[in-house]
Amino acid sequence: MVRIAQLGVGYWGPNLLRNLYSNSRCKLTCVVDPSPERRAFVSKNYPGIETWETAEQAIDSRAVDAIVIATPAATHFKIAMKCLHTGKHVLVEKPLATTVAEVDQMGEVANRKNLVVMAAHTFIYNDAVCCLKNLIDSGELGEIRYIYSRRLNLGRIRSDVDALWNLAPHDVSIIQHLLGNPIPISISRTGMDFIQKGIEDVTFLQITYPGKVMAQVHVSWLDPHKVREMTVVGSKKMVIYDDVAENKIAVYDMGIEPRAILGEKMDYDRTSPAQFIHRSGDIHIPKINFREPLKVEIDHFLDCIEGKAKCLTGPAHARQVVAILEKAAVR
C-alpha cells in the first residue's frame, strides 16, 4: 500500500483529501498545512490523520512514499524537487511548474531516480474527455480544423496568478491531449487587468498547430455565467463538450462540402462561383459511464507508482502545457 502525504488543504485540497482518504489502495499518513484552521478542519473531519505544520516533516519522513502537492503554483517546483531528492513520488496540482526549465529539471531527476512525476491535469481523466479523444482518434470527426474553449465564471479572483495561469492549464492540457501533444507553430494572447493591476482577469489565447489546426482558449473571472465548454470542429462531424451539462458530449453530423458538378467530358469541373452542400444530420448523445475524474486520476498515479501504467500527464505532457503558457506570458 502506497503511503501518501498531502501538502496543502486550501481551495482544492479538501477534494484531494476526500479521495485519498477513501482510496483503499493507499494510506494517507499525514496532511500538512501552515494554517491552524486548516489543520483543525482535517482533524475534525478525518480523525486519525496526523496533521503537521511544515512540509519538511513529510518530505523527510521514512513513513511516506509519495507526496501530493496542492500548494500555490509558485512553490511547486521547489517543493517537488525536495520530494524527488528524498526519493518520493509526486503528484503536483496544475501547473506542474512555471517554466519549461523547471519541468525539465523535475523530469531529469525523476527519470534518474525512477520516480513518478505527475501533473494533476484532472480533465485528462474525465470520461467525457476520454470519449471525445476516442471520437477524434477513430476518425469519426474527420480532420480536425479548429477547437475553441470557454472557461468562465464570476470570481474566484486570485492574486498569486492571473486568469491565464489559473484557468487555461485545464483547457490547454485537454487540447494537447486531444491532438496528441503537438508542438504549436504560433502562440499569442490578448487580455486585460480590470480588478488588480498587472493581473489579467480575462484572457484570449490563440494557438496554431501544424496541419492548419487552430485553437482558441477564452478564460475569465469576470463573466455572468459559469461556462465550461469546448467545441471541436472536424471535416466530417463536430462535437460540443459541456462539462456542466448532464449530457456532456453531443456529436453533430454537420458540415459544409464542395458540390461536385459533372462536366461535358464526364469529369467533375470546377465551377465559378463555387457551389457547396450544407449537411445537417443527426445529433448523437453518446452514453458515458461517468466516474469522478479525481478518483480516476489518483488511481492512475498509483498505477504508475506500481509500474502498471505509463503516466498520461507526466513531464512530457506537462512540458508542452507549460511551454504554451510560458510563451503566452511573454509580452
pLDDT at position 281 is 85
pLDDT-based confidence at 278, cuts 50/70/90? Answer: confident
**pLDDT digit string (tens) for 29-78?**
999 999 999 999 999 999 889 999 999 999 999 999 999 999 999 999 99
Q: Which pTM was predicted?
A: 0.93
The topology under which CATH files domain 124-292 is Dihydrodipicolinate Reductase; domain 2 (3.30.360)
Q: What is the mean pLDDT of the chain?
A: 94
pLDDT at 248 over 60: yes
pLDDT at position 222 is 97
Cα separations in angstroms, 274 against 190, 260, 280 = 35, 9, 20
Domain 2-121+293-314 carries which CATH code? 3.40.50.720
CB 73 within 8 A of CB 161: yes
pLDDT at position 331 is 64
* Exposed / middle / buried, residue 259 (Cβ in 10 Å: 0-12, 13-18, 19+): exposed
Domain positions in the chain are: 2-121+293-314, 124-292
pLDDT at position 169 is 97
What mean pLDDT is predicted for residues 213-223? 98
Strand order in the sheet with 50-52: 50-52, 26-32, 2-7, 66-69, 89-93, 117-120
pLDDT at position 187 is 97
- What CA–CA distance (Å, rounded) separates 20 from 314? 20
pLDDT at position 277 is 76
CB 231 within 8 A of CB 242: no
pLDDT at 262 over 80: no
* Strand-strand pairing, 144-154 and 2-7: unpaired
Which residues pair with residue 254 across a beta bridge? 280
Does this chain's domain 2-121+293-314 share its CATH topology with 124-292?
no
What mean pLDDT is predicted for residues 238-267? 83
Express as a percent the part of the chain with pLDDT over 70: 95
